[in-house]
């Protein structure tokens, strides 16, 4: 098999950076990745991939924006393509590309998340995207987590795999997943059964828990999480003349917020709860009859998060009852935990990367939530193996900050890690039982 060094050039670096900048300019938040999806599909088709998109790659979508938000974003774009856009423009975003070499070998799936954050990008002079003219053109949308880099890496790996098709074995599945922020998108993709026959699964993130120059191979410590919208519905009244006839949703929500924050206390592992948004009331002289909260829970494992959720339900119900208001809890996102380390497998991959001169760490904690855990758990449930990388990079500001930016050299390292690992996995696959999936 061709050695990676011979296919690796400065031209690759330039293509990676150009792609990253192209996508950085048009960030789109969860389920609104219309332009992003169209661009990704166009690239993949041009490399000769069979591309699946729209309703075919989705089951149950959580936390969709309302119809007017979708319409507004749709109307400001002028998208043209030689394929059907209708389902994409209804929020069935993302794409899956498949390449079958028709030679015996493993099925290798890779996942790249594609959404941006609800942040207005800084127009500061020393912010590189601003300085070099590739800052976000979309109001209140920004690639502030590095997913623009993930898209660039995914497209570049897909391009190289297509070019090397004749020298490779097995099957490749590229998943460009929407709506990772708020952990909404992965469950919808997994529900289609697309990962049923996957032998190896690779994914990763720029920055996060990895230090500059470090490659984490086999990240662990992903927290289980649930995202909930909570609504309180009371009764308005004149605050001077007849306050007693009102039912105060603001007080129910305020009391609820305080009580919710007393909940994360579990002996069996860490837990987190955050009330991130609380909006209530209409005017100074009216008993407030509506309140809305956005909260999230996290747990070191599913049991803790599930227990935390039942307590949340009790506190919301109790708060509503205390103030005589109605309530509604709407789940808008969730992801399971992941804390397994297949040491033998991960060490083999890491050893391969060390030969290439990377500073590799095994089994470092991610320390947050990522809905890739749905995909990793699914692959492993079906007998496959998965690995999550963290690609250390110099960051201009923390993730989700309006001045977030990363040193683009990390793109080359991440691309290289994927390509090296693919080569290694094809070699490994001949030492495992390749007849596991007869339908290959």
Residue closer to Zn ion, measured from CB, 332 or 424: 332
Shortest gap between Cβ of 345 and Zn ion (angstroms)? 24
Reduce the DSSP state of residue 129 to 3 states and report it. helix
Shortest gap between Cβ of 223 and Zn ion (angstroms)? 14
Contact 189, 177 (CB under 8 A): yes
Stretch touching Zn ion by CB under 5 A, among 69-77, 144-152, 229-237, 321-329: 144-152
Q: DSSP letters along 92-117, please?
A: ---EEEEEE--SS--EEEEEEE---B
Residues 145-204 that bind Zn ion (CB under 5 A): 145
Stretch touching Zn ion by CB under 5 A, among 72-80, 143-151, 267-275, 295-303: 143-151
Sheet strands (E) in 178-289 = 200-206, 214-217, 224-233, 271-280
343-351 long-range contacts (CB < 8 A, ≥24 apart) are 345/385, 345/387, 346/217, 346/218, 346/387, 348/424, 348/428, 349/217, 349/218, 349/387, 349/421, 349/424, 349/425, 350/217, 350/218
**What are the helix (H) ranges across 278-397?**
302-322, 343-355, 372-381
Shortest gap between Cβ of 107 and Zn ion (angstroms)? 25
Count of positions on this chain that bind Zn ion (CB under 5 A): 1
Shortest gap between Cβ of 119 and Zn ion (angstroms)? 10
Shortest gap between Cβ of 368 and Zn ion (angstroms)? 8
**Torsions phi, psi for 12 (to 5 deg):** -60, -45
> Which position's Cβ is nearest Zn ion?
145
Using the 8-state DSSP alphabet, how is residue 198 labeled? -
Residue closer to Zn ion, measured from CB, 373 or 429: 373
Residue closer to Zn ion, measured from CB, 41 or 372: 372
CA distance 398 to 338: 23
Residue closer to Zn ion, measured from CB, 327 or 406: 406
Residue closer to Zn ion, measured from CB, 40 or 237: 40
Provide the token pair at 272: 């987190």
Which of 161, 170, 165, 162 minimizes the C-alpha distance to 199?
170
Reduce the DSSP state of residue 13 to 3 states and report it. helix
Shortest gap between Cβ of 158 and Zn ion (angstroms)? 20
Residues 224-243 that bind Zn ion (CB under 5 A): none
Residue closer to Zn ion, measured from CB, 19 or 145: 145
Kindly state whether residue 40 participates in binding Zn ion, applying the rule CB under 5 A. no
Shortest gap between Cβ of 151 and Zn ion (angstroms)? 12
Residue closer to Zn ion, measured from CB, 61 or 143: 143
CA distance 292 to 311: 19
Stretch touching Zn ion by CB under 5 A, among 67-75, 137-145, 310-318, 350-358: 137-145
Query: Tokens 């040193």 belong to which residue?
Result: 407
Residues 389-418 that bind Zn ion (CB under 5 A): none
Stretch touching Zn ion by CB under 5 A, among 7-15, 44-52, 139-147, 346-354: 139-147
Stretch touching Zn ion by CB under 5 A, among 33-41, 141-149, 230-238, 416-424: 141-149
Residue closer to Zn ion, measured from CB, 150 or 160: 150
Stretch touching Zn ion by CB under 5 A, among 142-150, 253-261, 262-270, 322-330: 142-150
| Angle separating helix axes 10-25 and 147-163, nearest 10 degrees | 130
Residue closer to Zn ion, measured from CB, 85 or 145: 145
Q: Which residues bind to Zn ion, rule: CB under 5 A?
A: 145
């Amino acid at each position: 098999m061709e050695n990676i060094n011979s296919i690796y050039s400065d031209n690759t670096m330039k293509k990676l950076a150009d792609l990253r900048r192209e996508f950085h300019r048009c960030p789109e938040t969860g389920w609104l990745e219309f332009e992003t999806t169209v661009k990704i599909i166009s690239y993949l088709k041009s490399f000769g991939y069979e591309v699946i998109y729209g309703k075919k790659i989705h089951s149950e979508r959580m936390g969709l924006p309302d119809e007017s938000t979708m319409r507004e974003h749709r109307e400001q774009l002028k998208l043209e393509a030689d394929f059907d856009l209708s389902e994409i423009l209804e929020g069935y975003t993302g794409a899956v590309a498949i390449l079958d070499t028709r030679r015996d070998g493993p099925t290798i799936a890779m996942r790249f998340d594609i959404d941006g954050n609800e942040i207005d990008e800084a127009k500061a002079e020393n912010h590189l995207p601003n300085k070099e003219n590739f800052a976000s053109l979309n109001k209140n949308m920004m690639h502030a987590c590095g997913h623009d880099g993930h898209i660039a890496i995914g497209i570049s790996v897909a391009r190289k795999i297509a070019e090397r098709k004749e020298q490779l074995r097995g099957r490749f599945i590229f998943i460009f997943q929407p709506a990772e922020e708020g952990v909404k998108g992965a469950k919808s993709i997994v529900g289609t059964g697309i990962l049923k026959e996957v032998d190896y699964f690779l994914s990763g993130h720029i920055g996060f828990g990895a230090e500059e120059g470090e490659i984490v191979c086999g990240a662990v410590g992903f927290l289980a999480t649930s995202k909930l919208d909570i609504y309180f519905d009371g009764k308005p009244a004149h605050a001077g003349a007849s306050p007693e006839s009102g039912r105060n949703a603001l007080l129910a929500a305020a009391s609820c917020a305080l009580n919710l924050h007393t909940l994360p206390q579990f002996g069996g592992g860490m837990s987190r709860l955050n009330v991130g948004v609380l909006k209530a009331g209409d005017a100074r002289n009216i008993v407030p009859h509506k309140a809305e909260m956005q909260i999230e829970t996290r747990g070191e494992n599913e049991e803790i998060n599930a227990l935390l959720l039942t307590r949340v339900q009790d506190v919301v119900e109790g708060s509503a009852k205390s103030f005589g208001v109605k309530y509604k809890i709407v789940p808008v996102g969730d992801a399971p935990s992941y804390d397994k380390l297949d040491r033998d497998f991960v060490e083999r991959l890491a050893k391969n990367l060390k030969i290439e001169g990377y500073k590799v760490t095994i089994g470092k904690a991610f320390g947050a939530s990522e809905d890739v855990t749905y995909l990793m758990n699914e692959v492993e449930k079906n007998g496959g193996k998965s690995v999550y990388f963290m690609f250390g990079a110099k960051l201009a500001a923390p993730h989700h900050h309006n001045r977030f930016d990363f040193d683009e050299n990390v793109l080359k390292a991440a691309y290289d890690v994927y390509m090296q690992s693919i080569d290694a996995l094809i070699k490994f696959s001949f030492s495992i039982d390749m007849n596991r999936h007869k339908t290959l």
